[in-house]
Amino acid sequence: MEVLLLVLSFLCLLALGVPIAWSIGLSSLLTLLLSMPALPAVTTVAQRMATGLDSFALLAIPLFILAGQIMNRGGIARRLIAFAKALVGSLPGGLAHVNIVAAMLFGAIAGSAVAA
């Protein structure tokens, strides 16, 4: 029953022109509120949101974005691409090779294999 309510409310919200992100959130919240009492439902939503954000991997994302902005504004990103292009740009498929080498250099600077 809950699945039917979830799907129908999602499709109705999409038909009304509500953006997809809002449709997903509102339909899941509506289904949660109608399938259990209000206070436990709100508590469950808050706990799930907090648990979803409690991750070291998610903590690193803004720092990598900051590092990319610093590299871009400082000009090191252009120099890394130019260096990678000088190394492997003349090979067949050079643009792909330049992309891989530049990502490898960024990973070496960041100190993380996951960053590359």
Q: List the domain boundaries for the chain.
A: 2-53, 56-110
The arithmetic mean of pLDDT across residues 81-106, rounded, is 85
How high is the mean pLDDT of the chain? 84
The arithmetic mean of pLDDT across residues 59-87, rounded, is 86
Sequence-separated contacts (24+) of 25-33 with Cβ below 8 Å:
30/5, 31/2, 31/5, 31/6
pTM over cut 0.75: no
The pLDDT, as a whole number, for residue 98 is 87
Run of H or E including 76:
helix 76-88
The pLDDT, as a whole number, for residue 114 is 65
pLDDT digits (tens, 9 = 90+) for 19-64: 999 999 899 888 888 887 777 777 877 788 778 777 777 777 888 8
Q: Tell whether the model's pLDDT for residue 8 goes beyond 60.
A: yes
pLDDT digits (tens, 9 = 90+) for 10-26: 999 999 999 999 999 89
Q: Tell whether the model's pLDDT for residue 75 goes beyond 70.
A: yes
